[in-house]
Structure 1
Amino acid sequence: MLKILVPTLLLIPTAWLVHNKWLWTTTLVQSFLIALMSLTWLNNTSETGWNTLNFFIATDPLSTPLLILSCWLLPLMILASQKHLSLEPLTRQRGFIVIITTLQSFLILAFGATEFIMFYIMFEATLIPTLLVITRWGNQMERLNAGIYFLFYTLAGSLPLLIALMMLQNNMETLSLLTLQYSKPLLVLSLGDKLWWAGCMIAFLVKMPLYGVHLWLPKAHVEAPIAGSMVLAAVLLKLGGYGMMRLMAVLGPLSKEVIYPFMILALWGVIMTGSACLRQTDLKALIAYSSVSHMGLVAGGILIQTPWGFTGALALMIAHGLTSSALFCLANTNYERTHSRTMLLARGLQIALPLMTSWWFFTSLANLALPPLPNLMGELAILTSLFNWSPWTLILTGAGTLITAMYSLYVFLMSQRGPLPQHMFYLAPSHTREHLLMVLHLAPLILIMFKPTLIWGWFA
């Protein structure tokens, strides 16, 4: 674990000390080497599942895919941010790289934590760099407002979690993930127990986000710079799902009364946010709402606590992380040329940038879960487990899947097809950097198809 964490921390002095001319190249190469080294975590040979153990951090089949996704994303964020930071003073460019590296370190410590309290501290610590990225490097005037939404939604959700963890410490006398999985699950019987369960889950459901507490997400996504959008969509939303899976192993099977309201919100959210996507005019807001829709399915898969539900949730989290991050990168390439996120103003791009259209096409198909991509594997596992839990869920999830296909095709046709407007005749051509960025997003998706057990978690 330290062979990844130490080089990541050493990126911070590298960013301050390297020569101006080589700043982006050096940090990109170093972060990419860290990402390649992190792939060694996939070679898990231990019988207990826990690997690279020390007192504070370890990996297991659940955290490994999320850790690798976090490491993989840092070079991609550096690659995507070069263009819009090139006009800033060099100290700000260095500061930006330091902040996203700090965020990466917090994420590695959060996903690798073996103690619930350490996970909680790192879960909260990721707030600070993300907030700085949104409020300092955001594009629009609304960015401070978006930062406040993000901060207060997350903080208000996480305070009950801290109290619930203290109570768990009193009951179980340990918060170590290594021993908690062997203890008897706690039964959720009395009203106090149910409130305590909700306290444990609310923080993670806000982070995911569950429909109803999702308003911070579209604001944060729309106002954030490209690196902020990428890390929010790809990794920070997954912290919620990961925390839920970890806590679900400790909390006993739920009574139907507790699970119903959360389940209804999650599945109703899939339809509502999908329908909101069909009416969006802002490209980044549309991709943000589609994230809420996919995370609703993940929340549903985790809440019913079946092996298939957990497997599907983890697979969909990894696949969605790569897909939505790629969509944000594509939206950013449009924004850098047209300086507008309004879909009506940027149309017919197939004529101007034909190769970018093929990336749009592939990513849109991945977003609507085309077989045999891992997005479909995750969705199918979740749909099957939900249908076993209650046949009525098929109506909601079926409608949700249909709407997902509709808005994915709507985005593609709206942005790529049709005549090119006159104000876009003189667009800058697409760069090798942008194509490399798309290859590094979509190549892992294609490779996972050949060995999906890598992202199936505990149940592989």
Structure 2
Amino acid sequence: MLTLLIASLSIICLNFIPRWNWISLFYSFSMITFLSINLLNNQTQTWNNVSINLGSDNLSTPLIVLSCWLAPLCFMSNNIIKNENQNAQNTFLFLISFITTFLILTFSSLNVLSFFICFEATLIPTLILITRLGANVERLQAGLYFLFYTLFGSLPLLVSLLIINNNHLNLNFSLNPPINEQIPLNIINIWWIITIIAFLVKMPIYGFHLWLPKAHVEAPIAGSMILAAILLKLGGYGLIRLNLFFLNTNNINSILIIFCCWGTLITSIICIRQTDLKALIAYSSVGHMSLTASGIFLFSNWSVSGALMLMIAHGLVSSALFALANILYERTHTRNISITRGFKTITVLLPIWWIIACVANLGLPPLPNLIGEIIIISGLLGWNLWLIPILGLATVFGAIYSLSIFQNTNTQKNLNLSNKYQTINPREHLLIILHFAPLIFIILNPSPCFI
């Protein structure tokens, strides 16, 4: 763990080599990715690779590997920024390196306060990535939405952590100190709600999600990939971790489960009427994260394992969808689905990548998205059978909007056949293949993604 962290910190220094910074950063993060995969070989039922303040377990290890895997892919996807001035390139490379380093720190922190500091440290570089390197004028509004929604839950979380530390004099995840059971149940429920607001915004679940579509639409492709693949998973990770400090929250969790299931259905319906391709993919992320949150709030080993599986699979698939949407945007210069269509008649391999990404997003066997969704849904139906119509309709609408993405972008007649589109280059094919390759290994051996 310390080797991984030291290597990621030293990589930031490579930003100051102006000629070789892209190549050196890409290969350095690729090396860190292979180092992080070694963590999967050391998994036990308890904490491992432990130092004084850092460690990993079955929950944090897959998320650390996912963070390291996506970093070099961000460099590959945002290749168009090489046409900008050197200052913009250095800013982009530094922000991606900084975010990745603090993501590794967040997922490996043993202390809750250091987890909170690293959790919040990703806010500023992500904000700069949206507002400085975004494409449109509305990026400033998107940055404000992102900033104030995130800060809205941060102060209550900090106050809650300080109160926990004052009562127990301990904030270590590995010791799992529960809150005193003599505290009245209503106080514990209110305390739990105050604590998790920051994580509900970060995921985000339906109702706390208004910042996400704006941020995705205005952010550069690397920002969208990091937001969808990793930063949204910080919320789920925090929910699972901090539940260890709270007992007897079943009543409030029941309400949250129902609210999240409704959010999954409503978001699926919203996706059908979207005309912006990136906004559609962003809303689908809200639906998947709402389902993930409902599995986490059930807090059984079965449902939490399904939530982790869905977080990993969604991180790879949603990032691939944003990368594919960017490939179309670079050629058509629009995100409107009614215009970016008919690419089946222009390219051969691109529709294949689209159909794989879309069927993975809707959850067809044997892809890991299906494994995670089935585990969560079976746990929820075991909890209450009245959720059958809600989850059933959400699944149907999810299939509708996922297949509509493929149909609208590939199978219809292209409106601008007179335009000469650039061919898809090998870098873009490799980018999509590297998104799908981990899914194959998860299908063959899903056990590292189970708690």
TM interval, short-chain normalised: over 0.9
Q: Give the alignment partner of residue 87 of structure 1, picking from 74, 78, 83.
A: 83
For residue 423 of structure 1, report the CA deviation from its aligned partner. 5.2
Q: After TM superposition, list the pairs within 5 Å mapping 1:2-401 onto structure 2.
A: 2-19=2-19, 22-44=20-42, 46=44, 49-83=46-80, 85-180=81-176, 186=181, 189-256=184-251, 258-401=252-395
> Does the CA-based 8 Å contact 2:4-2:36 persist in structure 1?
yes
One-letter amino acid of the structure 1 residue matched with residue 28 of structure 2: Q
Shifted more, 328-337 versus 161-170: the winner is 161-170
Shifted more, 119-128 versus 169-178: the winner is 169-178
Counterpart CA distance in 2 for 1:136 and 1:368 is: 33
What is the SS of the residue equivalent to 1:375?
Answer: helix
> Does the CA-based 8 Å contact 2:277-2:337 persist in structure 1?
yes
Shifted more, 184-193 versus 439-448: the winner is 184-193
Counterpart CA distance in 1 for 2:317 and 2:278 is: 14
One-letter amino acid of the structure 1 residue matched with residue 5 of structure 2: L
What TM-score results when the alignment is normalised by the length of structure 2? 0.97
For residue 341 of structure 1, report the CA deviation from its aligned partner. 0.4
Counterpart CA distance in 2 for 1:114 and 1:126 is: 18
Identity of aligned residues (%): 46
Partner of 1:421: 415
**CA deviation profile, 1:326-373 (whole Å, cap 9, x unmatched):** 000000000011100001111111111221110001000100011111
Counterpart CA distance in 2 for 1:49 and 1:244 is: 19
> Does the CA-based 8 Å contact 1:188-1:197 persist in structure 2?
no
Compared CA separation, residues 337 and 191, structure 1 to 2 (3 A): same
For residue 188 of structure 1, report the CA deviation from its aligned partner. 7.0
> Does the CA-based 8 Å contact 1:188-1:251 persist in structure 2?
no
Shifted more, 440-449 versus 422-431: the winner is 422-431
What TM-score results when the alignment is normalised by the length of structure 1? 0.95
Shifted more, 428-437 versus 48-57: the winner is 48-57
Compared CA separation, residues 15 and 392, structure 1 to 2 (3 A): same
> Does the CA-based 8 Å contact 1:268-1:396 persist in structure 2?
yes
Partner of 1:455: 449
> Unaligned 5+ residue runs, structure 2?
none
> Does the CA-based 8 Å contact 2:26-2:75 persist in structure 1?
yes
For residue 28 of structure 1, report the CA deviation from its aligned partner. 1.1
Counterpart CA distance in 2 for 1:113 and 1:313 is: 21
Shifted more, 146-155 versus 263-272: the winner is 263-272
Q: What do you get for the CA RMSD once the two structures are aligned?
A: 1.4
Compared CA separation, residues 169 and 184, structure 1 to 2 (3 A): closer
Residues matched between the structures, number: 451
**CA deviation profile, 1:91-130 (whole Å, cap 9, x unmatched):** 2202210111000111011000000000011111110110
Compared CA separation, residues 98 and 354, structure 1 to 2 (3 A): same
What is the SS of the residue equivalent to 2:246?
Answer: coil
For residue 263 of structure 1, report the CA deviation from its aligned partner. 2.0
For residue 171 of structure 1, report the CA deviation from its aligned partner. 2.5
For residue 255 of structure 1, report the CA deviation from its aligned partner. 3.4
One-letter amino acid of the structure 1 residue matched with residue 266 of structure 2: M
